[in-house]
Amino acid sequence: MEKKETKRKNLKERGITLVALVVTIIILLILAGVTLNIALSENGLFQRAKGAAKRYENASENEAEILDNLDKTLAELNRPKIESSEVARSLKEYQGKYVDIGLDTNGNSKVDDWEIFYAGNGRIFLIAADYVPADNLKTWGIIGDTGSLKDNGFQQYSSDYKYIVNWSTPTRFLTLPTTPDKFSSLVMHTGYTLNDSNPNSIAVSHLLNTEAWSGIKEATDKKDFIDFVIGGPTLEMWCAAWKEAVNGDADLKPIEADPQASESGYNVKYGETSEMYMYVNGSTDYEPDTTKLDKYKTFFPHTTVVEDICYGYWLASPSSTSSTYAPKFLMYVEYDGLVAYYGYDNFFCSVRPVVSLRSGVKLVEKEPGGNEYDVVG
C-alpha cells in the first residue's frame, strides 16, 4: 500500500515537472520572440545600432568638414593682406601680378585679365592685361551695339578689326569727376588742366570720364571693391609706373611726362630732353630692339602690330602738338617702345582700361607664393 502511494506521488511530481518544463519552454519561446522582435524589427536593436553607427559616421564626416572649413578659415585669416602702401613701396615686385575681379575682357580665364599697374594716393590701380576688343566695349555700353558713336564718343574703326577704336567726330567735351580725391588720383598733380577750348582735350575727357566707363565696373564680380574705371592710364601714371619697372635696367630709361602748359598738352622727357615723342630707351631717333620689351608685358602686351593694323593703345593725356590740318592729338604707346602722339580721329589704336580699387582694399594671394591675387576689404 505504501509502495503504491509512493509511486503515485512520484508520478504526480513528474507530471508537475513536465508541466513546468512546457510552461518554461513556452515562456522561453515568448521571450525569444520578443527578443527577436526587439533585435530584428524595423526599430529593433540591430537597426538602431546600424542607425547609431551611421549617425556616428555622419557626425565624424561633419566634424571633419567643420575642421577642414575651420582650417581654411584660419588659413584665410592668416594669409598676409597686402595694402596699397606695400604695393607702392615695392611696385616693381607687384607689377604684372594678376588680380581676379571676375571680369573676362578678352576670352581668357577671369583671373588673368587684370594686372597690377600702379599704386598711389592710397589706391591700387589695375590695367587690362591686353587690348580690349570692341565687342566687349559694346557689351559694357561704352560704344554702340553696331559700333556707332555713343555719348562717350567712341566708335569701332571697322568690324574687320576687333581691337581698334577711335573718335571720328568727338566734338563734345565730357565733364570730369569733381571729387578732388578722384581727380588727383588720375592726373597726379602735374599742373595740366583739361579744357573744352582745346581739341586735344576732347578725347581725353572721354577716357577720363568715369561715368562713361562705369559699365566695366558693373560687369565685374567685385564691383563693391572698385571705386572707378577710366579708359586708359594717363601719361603721368604710365611714366611713373614705367620708372619703377625699369629701375636697374641699363637698356631702358625712366622717361617722364612733361606738361607743356603753354601748348595745352604733354611732351615726353628723358633727362633734359623734352620731345613730342620718345622711345623707352630715351631716344627720339632710334627704334629699340623689341625683344627687350618682352619682359615688360604689363606695358607692352604686344611687340608686333596686331591684325596688321593695331599699333598700340591710347593714353588718357593730350599731346602738346597742335595743327590746323589735324588738330586732335592724343598720346599713345606703340608696340615697339615708342611713346608718342597721333590724331585720335584717324589712327589705329586700342584701349586698355584702368580700374581703381577703393581706398583701403587689400590683396591676398590665391596660393602662397603664387602670381594671382584676390581682393578683400
pLDDT, tens digit (0-9, with 9 covering 90-100), for 148-184: 556 556 777 777 888 988 876 656 777 777 777 777 7
Residue scoring higher pLDDT (244 or 2): 244
Q: Are 316 and 190 in contact (CB under 8 A)?
A: no
Question: What's residue 276's pLDDT?
Answer: 92
Q: E strands of 159-270, at which residues?
A: 161-166, 226-230, 256-260, 265-270
pTM of the predicted model, to two decimals?
Answer: 0.79
Structural domain count, the chain: 2
pLDDT at 259 over 80: yes
Q: Which of 77, 100, 124 is the last residue of a domain?
A: 77
What sign does the dihedral 325-328-331-337 (CA atoms) show? negative
> 136 and 58, same structural domain?
no
Percent helix, percent strand, percent coil in the chain, to nearest 5: 40, 20, 40
pLDDT at 364 over 50: yes
> 356 and 321, same structural domain?
yes
pLDDT at 370 over 90: no
> 65 and 100, same structural domain?
no
pLDDT, tens digit (0-9, with 9 covering 90-100), for 43-78: 665 566 566 667 767 767 777 777 666 666 555 556
Q: How many helices (H) and strands (E) does the chain have?
A: 9, 17
Question: What's residue 308's pLDDT?
Answer: 81
Mention every residue, 6+ apart, whose C-beta is less than 8 A from residue 365.
Answer: 79, 80, 372, 373
Q: Which of 77, 93, 117 is the last residue of a domain?
A: 77
> 125 and 21, same structural domain?
no
Rounded to 5 degrees, φ, ψ at 245 are -65, -40
> 205 and 68, same structural domain?
no
> 277 and 163, same structural domain?
yes
> 134 and 35, same structural domain?
no
> 284 and 147, same structural domain?
yes
> 54 and 147, same structural domain?
no
Distance CA 140, CA 212 (A): 10
pLDDT at 82 over 50: yes
Question: What's residue 261's pLDDT?
Answer: 72
Q: Which of 36-50, 172-186, 295-309 has the lowest mean pLDDT?
A: 36-50
Locate cell 591675387: which residue?
Answer: 373
pLDDT at 209 over 60: yes
Q: Which of 22, 49, 77 is the last residue of a domain?
A: 77
Please give the single-letter amino acid code of residue 220: T
Mean pLDDT across the chain: 82
Domain hosting residue 145, numbered range: 83-376
Average pLDDT value for residue range 82-103: 94
Rounded to 5 degrees, φ, ψ at 358 are -65, 150
Q: How far is CA 108 from CA 111, 112, 114, 134, 364, in A?
A: 8, 7, 11, 16, 22
> 248 and 129, same structural domain?
yes
> 118 and 11, same structural domain?
no
> 87 and 63, same structural domain?
no
pLDDT at 338 over 70: yes
Distance CA 290, CA 293 (A): 5
Please give the single-letter amino acid code of residue 356: S
